[in-house]
Amino acid sequence: MEELLTDAYAGIFEPALIEEISAVANINDFEEGDRLIEIGQYIRQMPLLITGAIKILREDKVEGELLLYFLEKGDTCAMTLACCMGQTKSEIRAIAETQGTLAMIPIGKMEEWLGRYKSWRNFVFTSYNKRLSEMLSAIDNLAFMKMDERLLNFLKEKAKVNKSAVIVNTHQEIAYELNTSRVVVSRLLKALENEKLIKLNRNNIELLKQ
Amino acid sequence: MEELLTDAYAGIFEPALIEEISAVANINDFEEGDRLIEIGQYIRQMPLLITGAIKILREDKVEGELLLYFLEKGDTCAMTLACCMGQTKSEIRAIAETQGTLAMIPIGKMEEWLGRYKSWRNFVFTSYNKRLSEMLSAIDNLAFMKMDERLLNFLKEKAKVNKSAVIVNTHQEIAYELNTSRVVVSRLLKALENEKLIKLNRNNIELLKQ
DNA sequence: TGTTAGCAGTAACAAAAGTTACAGTAATAC
DNA sequence: GTATTACTGTAACTTTTGTTACTGCTAACA
């Protein structure tokens, strides 16, 4: 387990801290599609992502969902951090995008390390900053871009976190994550295919590099 | 000056910290409309808002602007925090919504206090959390609401930070902050007036309580 | 093998938002 | 007082997005 942590966090934490983490963390494997955090849930342990990818979603009161961003190796969710520190309910939902591994840290340790390890303090602030920055991207997408551009961005992001140019998703699934309708997605995907940016197959979409 | 700080931050900082702040802070008065932070600017001091209100805006590469949220007494801008800590350029623009006062803190002190004052650490984390939460609201607005609802929300927010039911803005100004066009704003405002939610006058809008 | 369920494509229409153009009126400058 | 400018209202139209409905196809499976 120390190896796993070292692999994911070597450049980030000093060896002593990695050792402490391995001593107290619970390792937690997850499968694609696992619902890791629900909206309204209290968080009692802080997750560090070791391998795999997680998607973070926001939900409307009425209906509708929106993908905010992905977490990858070496990330933690600032939203969850916020919950831990502030003792509040989760405002987001986290679902495993791929299979992977989490290290769960007791909240008490988190606070303790803030005082003792500069690298931990840096990590926490960097996480917050990254998340704020991802939220800004999400806002840019929503405020300044049309659906076709958002869709193309989505496909590129998805390809990146899955490390594959083939996106295995139905149009309906994509529509959920962009908070639009299946028909709109099909229409715009067809247009992107006509522009030779993608190739459509059943249940998957190929991103064509140019 | 200590009085000012005590007034705005009494419940938040311990007296010893308030004293330290008054010792090192530069007080900075601003007028409505002052451009306090520009996109791309490096931030060398951290601002604490003592009185007044500040609006935080995001800008598109091409054109278009969007109001993210307002800061009020006792707030600081987590975006700016992020810039200070991360030594990066500002991703947002800050413009004075009303006249007011800022205390500017040298970055070095910020880090020092993180170790020495628990109340400061709490403040920094609470700021981050509040800002993440405001960003989520902004995303909710964009993703799940139609323009008429966004417009009404905007008017209510504006009334709140200005402590007045009369919003002194032209339709064009409102259109900029919502990233839409003047005609759309005029149209929807007219509809809101017909629903007896507001009263339109030249250069100002009255929010009618129900 | 035939049935069924889920997926994708598309047409036709509706609603929301954006655009262009113009008119009337208040505020301001000269 | 007149001219100019800024602000608002509105019509007419376009584009984008959302909705409903139907079709054909594929994969799974009884």
Q: What is the CA radius of gyration of chain B?
A: 18
In chain A, residues with a C-beta closer than 8 Å to the C-beta of B115 are: 115
Instruction: Give the percent of chain B with pLDDT over 90.
Output: 71
Average pLDDT over residues B10-17: 90
Residue A168 and residue A128 in one domain: no
CB spacing of A136 vs B78 below 8 angstroms: no
Average pLDDT, chain B: 92
Find the residue closest to C20 using CA and C1' atoms: B183
Residue B90 and residue B109 in one domain: yes
Cβ pair B84, B34 in contact under 8 A = no
Instruction: Give the percent of chain B with pLDDT over 70.
Output: 99
In chain B, residues with a C-beta closer than 8 Å to the C-beta of A133 are: 82, 91
* Per-residue pLDDT, B210: 59
pTM of the model: 0.92
Q: How far apart are CA B44 and CA B28, in angstroms?
A: 14
Q: How far apart are CA A29 and CA B197, in angstroms?
A: 53
Cβ pair A69, A134 in contact under 8 A = yes
Estimate in Å the CA A169 to C1' C4 gap, whole number.
Answer: 22
* Per-residue pLDDT, B145: 96
Residue B52 and residue B154 in one domain: no
Q: How far apart are CA B47 and CA B96, in angstroms?
A: 13
CA–CA distance from B157 to each of A13, A69, A164, A204, B170 (Å)?
42, 27, 44, 44, 16
CB spacing of A132 vs B79 below 8 angstroms: yes
Q: How far apart are CA A21 and CA A2, in angstroms?
A: 8
CB spacing of A142 vs B143 below 8 angstroms: yes
Residue A115 and residue A184 in one domain: no
Residue A135 and residue A152 in one domain: no
Q: Which domain holds residue B191?
A: 145-207
- A→B contacts (Cβ < 8 Å), by residue, are 58, 60-62, 64, 66, 68, 78-79, 82, 85-86, 88, 91-92, 114-115, 121, 125-126, 128-129, 131-133, 135-136, 138-140, 142-144, 179
Estimate in Å the CA A180 to C1' D2 gap, whole number.
Answer: 55
Residue B44 pLDDT > 90: no
Residue B105 and residue B175 in one domain: no
Residue A15 and residue A84 in one domain: yes
> Which two tokens mark B11?
């419940």
* Per-residue pLDDT, B84: 76
Confidence band of B152 (pLDDT split at 50, 70, 90): very high
Q: Which nucleotide is nearest to B173 (CA to C1')?
A: D7
Domain-ending residue, one of B143, B173, B192: B143
Residue B59 and residue B71 in one domain: yes
Domain-ending residue, one of A97, A128, A143: A143
CATH number for the domain harbouring residue B202: 1.10.10.10
* Per-residue pLDDT, A210: 57
CATH number for the domain harbouring residue A127: 2.60.120.10
CA–CA distance from A84 to each of A6, A45, A77, B135, B191 (Å)?
24, 7, 11, 19, 44
3 state SS of A58: strand
In chain B, residues with a C-beta closer than 8 Å to the C-beta of A86 are: 125-126, 129
* Per-residue pLDDT, A24: 94
Cβ pair B49, B71 in contact under 8 A = yes
Domain-ending residue, one of B92, B109, B143: B143
Residue B63 and residue B139 in one domain: yes
| Nucleotides of strand D lying closer than 7 angstroms to a protein CB | 6-12, 16-21, 26-27
pLDDT in tens, chain A (210 residues): 678 888 888 888 999 999 999 999 999 999 999 999 999 999 888 999 999 999 999 999 878 899 999 999 888 887 888 877 777 899 999 999 999 999 999 988 988 898 888 899 889 888 888 999 999 999 999 999 999 999 999 999 999 999 999 999 999 999 999 999 999 999 999 999 999 999 999 889 999 975
Number of H helices, E strands in chain A: 8, 10
Q: How many separate domains does chain A show?
A: 2
* Per-residue pLDDT, B88: 85
Cβ pair B105, B48 in contact under 8 A = yes
Q: How far apart are CA B69 and CA B158, in angstroms?
A: 10
Residue A136 and residue A151 in one domain: no
* Per-residue pLDDT, A78: 79
Residue A136 and residue A152 in one domain: no
* Per-residue pLDDT, A100: 95
Residue B11 and residue B48 in one domain: yes
3 state SS of A55: strand
Say if strands B198-201 and A65-71 run parallel, antiparallel, or are unpaired: unpaired
CB spacing of A91 vs B136 below 8 angstroms: yes
Identify the CA nearest to A74 among candidates A149, A5, A150.
A5
